Amino acid sequence: MIKVITLMTALVPTIGHKALVEFCRQLAYIKGGEAHIIVGTQPNEPFIRERIEAFINAFPETQEFNIHKYHKHAPQSPEEMPESFWEYWRDVVISLVGSVGHDDIFVASELYGIDMARILGCKFMPFNRYRDMLNIKGTAVRKDLLTRFADIMPEFQPYIRKTVTLFGQESCGKTTMAKRLARDMNGTFVPEWAREYLETVGVETTDDRMYDIVHGQAALQGAAAGVQNRPWIFQDTDLLSTIGYYHIYGGAIRQPKDLQDCQSLFDRRKSDMYIVMNDRIPFEEDQLRYGGDKRESSKQFWIDLLEKNNCKYYVVKETDHEKQFEEIRVFLLEWFHEETRIISEYER
**pLDDT tens, residue by residue, 195-246:** 889 889 988 877 788 889 899 999 999 999 999 999 999 999 999 998 998 8
Report if residue 267 sits inside a domain: yes
CATH number for the domain including 55?
3.40.50
* Whether residue 128 sits in one domain with residue 250: no
* Whether residue 195 sits in one domain with residue 100: no
* Whether residue 134 sits in one domain with residue 30: yes
Show the domain range for 97.
3-143
CA distance 78 to 59: 31
Supply the pLDDT for residue 36.
98
CA distance 217 to 223: 10
CA distance 111 to 271: 43
CA distance 333 to 318: 17
Lowest-confidence range among 55-69, 120-134, 249-263? 249-263
- Angle, helices 15-30/48-58, rounded to nearest 10 degrees: 50
**pLDDT tens, residue by residue, 281-301:** 554 555 544 445 555 678 899
* Whether residue 165 sits in one domain with residue 61: no
Supply the pLDDT for residue 251.
65
Report if residue 152 sits inside a domain: no
CA distance 27 to 31: 6
Element (H, E) at 126: strand 123-126
CATH number for the domain including 279?
3.40.50.300
Q: Is a pLDDT exceeding 60 seen at residue 278?
A: yes
* Whether residue 304 sits in one domain with residue 214: yes
State how far Cα 336 lies from the chain centre: 12
**pLDDT tens, residue by residue, 142-188:** 999 999 999 999 999 999 999 999 999 887 899 999 999 999 999 99
Q: Mean pLDDT score of the chain, rounded to an integer? A: 92
| CB-CB contact of 105 with 98 (8 Å) | no
Number of domains in the chain: 2
CA distance 74 to 84: 12
323 vs 282, residue with greater confidence: 323
Would you give the end-to-end CA distance of the chain in angstroms?
35
Cross-strand partners of 65? 35, 62
